[in-house]
Amino acid sequence: MASPLLKEKANNIQTERQESLEKERLTENKEIARQAGETTKMSWTLNDFAIGRPLGKGRFGHVYLGKENASGYVVALKVLFKKELVRLNVPHQLRREVEIQYHLRHPNILRLYGYFHDAERVYIVLEYCQRGELYRILKERGRLNQEDTAKYIYQLSSALDFCHERNVIHRDIKPENVLIDKNGDLKLSDFGWAVQHDGSVKRATICGTLDYLPPEMLAQMPHTHKVDNWSVGILMFECLVGKAPFEVPTQSETIDRIKRCHFKLPDSMEAGAKELINKIIRIEPEERLSLKEVMAHPWLIQHYPKAASHHAIETVTK
């Protein structure tokens, strides 16, 4: 049992943390408003936005196209009902998700500009991605060409490397959580299963989607950031082939195949792509290529030449 003094200290820390978060939120809202050409607004209410067409429905609510009235700045507004959040016992998870995503600023991570709430709802203001989910694009096209795949794998690896350097593990990489903006660039979203660890603790929570789950998570063993690397390999396979490597009719067989790392690469796949996938999808987490190695892989550079120049710049500035 914690002593009353300790409890009070913990409460004070909690309050300070909330106050600092609120202060940052207001500053951020102001920054966005300024970027969007508006200088005085400190915090938003629903009246500040014109709500447009629905963009989709997620686990906890709907997402709408929105335009900030003062600036004409177009965003995606995620609307969540407080009652529903409480019923599903997720306010804590949502707070963590918002807090993590809010602080990650990277060209391939979906920006979370801010949030506000009224009596019934919480509104999350997000960067708008015109081309929607990679999931939908894959459904429409069946599979992707090597150029698009290489670009997405590069951009996803870059986003995840940035997360890992900040001790954030995403833990739910899949085509539904990858959005594409109007320029065709990838934006990693949905940090609902993400965790920020202190650098040494290995977490054992089971989360994510079956087809993308690595063996150590299935076995409920402790896991590290290498779970995300595994999912990068699965996504690369799915983009090129049109289905995930362990996707079979029954869940039990999928689980069995993941545990044995049993998958087959089509003969038609280019040798370089095969090599890259084989070096990422490994049972042993430490054997999986690092994300920097993925980004510098010859197959990736061949099909996404910008990777070479990005890589060179990163190496020089380090």
Q: Which residue is nearest to ligand AMP (CB)?
A: 58
CA-CA distance, 96 to 105, in Å (whole number)?
Answer: 16
Q: Looking at 173-255, which runs of residues are DSSP E strands?
A: 178-180, 186-188, 195-196
Q: Which is nearer to ligand AMP, 106 or 292 (CB)?
A: 106
Q: How far is Cα of residue 278 from the mean position of the Cα atoms in its chain? A: 23
Among 98, 129, 160, 235, binds ligand AMP (CB under 6 A): 129
Continuous segment of H or E residues that includes residue 258: helix 251-260
Q: Which range, of 25-33, 66-74, 84-92, 128-136, touches ligand AMP by CB under 6 A? A: 128-136
Q: Are 222 and 216 in contact (CB under 8 A)?
A: yes
Q: Are 212 and 246 in contact (CB under 8 A)?
A: no
Give me the least distance between CB of 127 and ligand AMP, in Å please: 6
Q: Which is nearer to ligand AMP, 104 or 129 (CB)?
A: 129
If 0-12 CB within 10 Å is exposed, 13-18 middle and 19+ buried, where does residue 7 land? Answer: exposed
CA-CA distance, 218 to 184, in Å (whole number)?
Answer: 33
Between the CA of residue 261 and those of 230, 265, 281, what are the distances in Å? 11, 12, 8
CA-CA distance, 20 to 194, in Å (whole number)?
Answer: 22
Catalytic, out of 172, 181, 211, 228? 172
Q: How far is Cα of residue 293 from the mean position of the Cα atoms in its chain? A: 20
Q: Which is nearer to ligand AMP, 168 or 300 (CB)?
A: 168
Among 10, 11, 45, 56, binds ligand AMP (CB under 6 A): 56
Among 132, 184, 222, 298, binds ligand AMP (CB under 6 A): 132
Give residue 274's identity as a one-letter amino acid code. K
Give the interface size with ligand AMP as a residue count (CB under 6 A). Answer: 16
Q: Which range, of 55-63, 163-171, 225-233, 284-292, touches ligand AMP by CB under 6 A? A: 55-63
Site string for ligand AMP, 248-287 (x = CB under 6 A): ----------------------------------------
- Using CB under 6 A as the binding rule, whether residue 63 contacts ligand AMP is answered as yes
Site string for ligand AMP, 81-120 (x = CB under 6 A): -----------------------------x----------
Asked if 172 is an active-site residue, the reply is yes
Q: Which is nearer to ligand AMP, 110 or 239 (CB)?
A: 110
Among 28, 97, 133, 216, binds ligand AMP (CB under 6 A): 133
β-bridge partners, 196: 168
Considering only residues 182 to 211 of the shown chain, the ones binding ligand AMP according to CB under 6 A are: 190
Tokens at residue 152, please?
């997405």
User: Which residues are annotated binding-site positions?
Assistant: 59, 78, 176-177, 190
**256-280 burial, b for 16+ CB within 10 Å, e for fewer?**
ebbeeeebebeeeeeebbbebbeeb
Pick the closest to residue 228 from 163, 310, 295 (CA basis). 163
- Using CB under 6 A as the binding rule, whether residue 159 contacts ligand AMP is answered as no
Q: Which residues contact ligand AMP (rule: CB under 6 A)?
A: 55-58, 63, 76, 78, 110, 126-129, 132-133, 179, 190
Q: Where in the sequence numbering do the catalytic residues fall?
A: 172
